[in-house]
Amino acid sequence: MLEEPLVRAAIKGNQEAVIALLEHYKSPLYRIAYSYLRNEHDAVEAMQELSYRCFRSIHTVKEPRYIGTWLTRIMMNICRDMLRKKKRELPSEVERYEKIPYEQPLDVEWLDSLSALDEQQRELIYMKYVEDRTNAAIAKQLKLPEGTVKSKLHYTLRKLRHLFREEGL
């Protein structure tokens, strides 16, 4: 976890603190972008857009301890925007699967299975297993009862198990 004074300095407009903050969260945010967009070029573009939006709006963060949540939410919104924009464009060449340059590469079959989930289900999986949040924290973020989060996670995991069995994973 980041030091709260660093986050507070970033919120007050200290550019070095914002850069340190973005550097700290670079890897998990890149993984989210890559898993949504499924190619390196778009994921890097999403990271650049995140940096811009972060510098522009970091002063709006009210609670420093939720800075990771704030950045993750922005990244998910950027990815959704990019996917919507892509749907409006003419389909390009066959999408290439490229390895993720940060830490461990994600398995392509796993990405295919995630793409079969709807946006809300993917978001739950990210929050629970990428960000390692508790059900209570997810419920608070999504403004849902904790029981609803548990049941949605249960349904989503059941759907993933079924997809893995179909694909022989």
pLDDT digits (tens, 9 = 90+) for 7-57: 999 999 999 999 999 999 999 999 999 988 888 999 999 999 999 999 999
Q: How confident is the model at residue 112 (pLDDT cuts 50, 70, 90)?
A: low
pLDDT at site 1? 56
- Burial (0-12, 13-18, 19+ Cβ within 10 Å), 166: exposed
Cα(142)–Cα(124) distance, integer angstroms:
9
Nearest by Cα to 17 from 80, 76, 64, 82: 64
Quote the DSSP letter at residue 118: -
Handedness of CA 78, 81, 86, 87 (dihedral sign): positive
pLDDT digits (tens, 9 = 90+) for 61-71: 999 988 998 99
Question: What mean pLDDT comes out for the span 78-97?
Answer: 66
Give the global pTM: 0.58
